Structure formats: C-alpha cells, structure tokens
Structure 1
C-alpha cells in the first residue's frame, strides 16, 4: 500500500471528502489537520486527503461526480 495525494482541501471539506470516499468503500486518510493550530493559521493551511495508489483513479471519479 502506497499512499498518494488525492487533493488539498480546507479542514471541513477534507473530512467531507473522506466520508464520501468511505461511503464508496475507499479508505482514505486526512493529513495535516492539526498543523499550525498554535500560531493561529489553523484555517489557512490546506489539508491533504490521501488514498491508496490502487484506489486513486476511482477516488478521482467519485470527486468529479456532483452527486
């Protein structure tokens, strides 16, 4: 299993993306969600959503689907 970056989102959107992927049985991970809380830039730093490289294409299709 090799993780690849699916995209960068604000914190709330990253967790919504993760939930959408998990509803389609694609495991994902949210990285950097706790970065820079102490210095006040909590909402400014994008959060990475990572998926297994074998699931990357399927995950992209899910994100492109407006449903």
Structure 2
C-alpha cells in the first residue's frame, strides 16, 4: 500500500472528503490537519488528503462528482 495525494483542501473540507470516501469504501487519511493550530495559522496551511494509489482514480471520480 502506497499513499498518494488526492489533493489539498482546507481542514474542514478535507475531513468531509475523508468521510465521503469512507462511505464509498475508500480508505483516506487527512495529513497536516493539526499543523500550526496553536499559533492560529491553520487556515493558511492546506490539509493533504491521501489515498492508496490503487484507489486514486476512483477517489477522484467521487470527489469530482460531489
């Protein structure tokens, strides 16, 4: 299993996308969600949504259709 980046999103949208993908049976992980939260810059740092490389095409289809 190799993780690849599906995209970079604001923290809230990234977590919504992870849930949406999970509902379709695709495991996804949001990386960097807690980055710089202590100093208030979390809105400036995008969160990476990562999926297995074998699921990337299907995950993009799901995200594009949403």
TM-score tier, shorter chain, comes to over 0.9
**Alignment-derived partner of residue 64 in structure 1:** 64
1:26-67 CA-to-partner distances (Å, cap 9, x unmatched) read 00000000101122201111000000000000000001113x
Aligned length: 66
Question: What TM-score, normalized to structure 2?
Answer: 0.95
Unaligned runs of 5+ in 1: none
Which structure 1 residue ranges, 4+ long, deviate > 6 Å from structure 2? Answer: none
Unaligned runs of 5+ in 2: none
CA-based RMSD: 0.7
